[in-house]
A = this chain, B = another copy of it.
Amino acid sequence: MEIILGSQSPRRRELLAGLGMPFAAVSIDADESYPGELQAGEIPAFISRTKAQAYAEQLRPDQLLITADTIVWSDGHMLGKPHSEQEAFDMIRSLSGKTHQVYTAVTFARKAPNYQLETIVDCTDVTFAELTDEEIRHYITCYRPMDKAGAYGVQEWIGYIACTAIHGSYFNVMGFPTHLVYAHLKKYIQLNG
């Protein structure tokens, strides 16, 4: 069984590699829009399935495809990737001094014995300290988090200074709930030692 990771995220590639199984990585272009009535974890679940379906024609029977999507959910609203520095600033300001949720969905797609998609969703509560405007501006200027949901990376400076606590999986906040992926894939993993 060949494992294919359908993600451009260097963090997801690093975390899957850390599970110790060989895989190939591909980029999948997919429309990331979703029905407006979806809430919280339903959103990345839908998008991770869209990504898997966009690769369905190329998937071979001896392959297992993994796709994923991560969103930040705060006060009943989704925070996606910011479109400007001002939007990044507003997003981080809105997270300051509060607890938000990070949802990551992972979809596993196989073609044999029949075409099937299986999706798992993980949620982690993340609590941020109060941040000054100067700290938020420093982070945006030095780390340019325009490619990150909610405009922050927990493994970067802002995570070091602001993240006072999480409740759930840390790797899920990074974008890949490794313990759930491992539980799903362990039948394919050869342990040594």
Contact = CB atoms under 8 A, between A and B. Distances in A.
Interface string A11-28: 000010011100000000
A120 interface: no
A20 B157 contact: yes
Interface in A141-193: 141-142, 154, 156-157, 160-171, 178-179, 182-183, 191-193
Contacts of A191: 134-135, 137-138
A147 B129 CA distance: 32
Nearest to A193: B141
Contact of A178 (B137, B140, B161, B178): B161
A96 to B, nearest CB: 13
A160 B11 CA distance: 13
Closest 9 CB pairs of A and B: A141-B193, A160-B178, A138-B191, A170-B170, A161-B182, A138-B193, A18-B160, A164-B179, A167-B167
A163 B15 CA distance: 13
Given A20-B157, A129-B183, A163-B179, 12 more contacts: A18-B160, A138-B192, A138-B193, A139-B193, A141-B192, A154-B170, A160-B182, A161-B178, A161-B179, A164-B169, A166-B168, A166-B170
B160 A179 contact: yes
A182 B163 CA distance: 11
B19 A160 contact: yes
Contacts of A165: 167-169
